[in-house]
Chains A and B, each alone.
Chain A
């Protein structure tokens, strides 16, 4: 079985400041890792993913996440946030097994960017 822990339920930050949203997972097998973003009144959208290869993955809007196998973490970072980044962020882990890719989601972190 796999699990995901998002350590912060809410992260307030000022505009243009850096931010880190923490995610730890547990799994007995190799995993795929994802970050999803949910803007108000919308569904979840994939922000970035780690499947294999380089442990540092980036999104088109400036977010990045690093897969750290020894610490079983996949923290999300952005060096300078904008008001428009205010949203709920979900970390998810999927352990491909027998062709099945069923994800487990964390409870989400609410990023609140203040002007």
Chain B
């Protein structure tokens, strides 16, 4: 398996634009997580899915953030509209029975 795949690896956008981050989890994993990492706040769990169903989105900072998992092999995290304070590295991770496998991350810069 190629591991967790995320795209794009880098995204630079202007404030107010819509941003969509993509994730392909490891085949057979039943959990998918979205995290955000910044120097100030560390690693934050935004939302997680179990068998494609969103279970806990209490970490999503605002209504500007939304996440979907239409099938077992694909998930998106959308920010609309984006703001400079959304600048961070966003990680997707998938897991089965507790052991998490992280993607390489998407570095988002909002100017």
Interface positions of A (Cβ within 8 A of B): 32, 34, 36, 42-46, 49, 51, 90, 92, 94, 96, 100-103, 105, 107-108
- Nearest-neighbour CB distance to chain B for A76, whole angstroms, equals 17
Question: Residue B102 at the A interface, CB < 8 A?
Answer: yes
Question: Which residues of chain A come closer than 8 Å to B104, judged between CB atoms?
Answer: 42-43
Which of B11-19, B80-88, B93-101 is found at the contact surface with chain A?
B93-101
Question: In the assembly, what is the distance between CA of A108 and CA of B41, in Å?
Answer: 11
A42, A43, A45, A103: the one contacting B98 at CB < 8 Å is A103
Question: Residue B25 at the A interface, CB < 8 A?
Answer: no
- Chain B contact residue count (CB 8 A cutoff): 20
Question: Which residues of chain B come closer than 8 Å to A94, judged between CB atoms?
Answer: 98
Q: Which residues of B from 43 to 92 have beta carbons under 8 Å from A?
A: 43, 45, 48, 50, 56, 91
Please name the residue on chain B nearest to A101 by beta carbon: B98
- Nearest-neighbour CB distance to chain B for A5, whole angstroms, equals 13
Determine chain B's interface SS by DSSP, over half rule: strand
Determine chain A's interface SS by DSSP, over half rule: strand
Flag if B91 contacts A43 (CB, 8 Å): yes
- Nearest-neighbour CB distance to chain A for B35, whole angstroms, equals 8
Task: Contacts A44-B100, A107-B42 known; list 17 others, CB within 8 Å.
Answer: A32-B98, A34-B98, A36-B100, A42-B104, A43-B91, A43-B103, A43-B104, A44-B91, A44-B93, A46-B99, A51-B98, A90-B43, A101-B31, A101-B95, A101-B98, A102-B56, A105-B42
27 A-B contact pairs sorted by A residue (CB < 8 Å): A32-B98, A34-B100, A36-B102, A43-B4, A43-B91, A43-B93, A43-B102, A43-B103, A44-B43, A44-B93, A44-B100, A46-B101, A51-B98, A90-B43, A92-B100, A94-B98, A96-B97, A96-B98, A101-B95, A101-B98, A102-B31, A102-B48, A103-B98, A105-B43, A105-B45, A107-B42, A108-B42
If A43-B91, A43-B102, A45-B102 touch, whether A101 touches B42 (CB-CB below 8 Å) is no
Flag if A34 contacts B91 (CB, 8 Å): no
Please name the residue on chain B nearest to A102 by beta carbon: B48
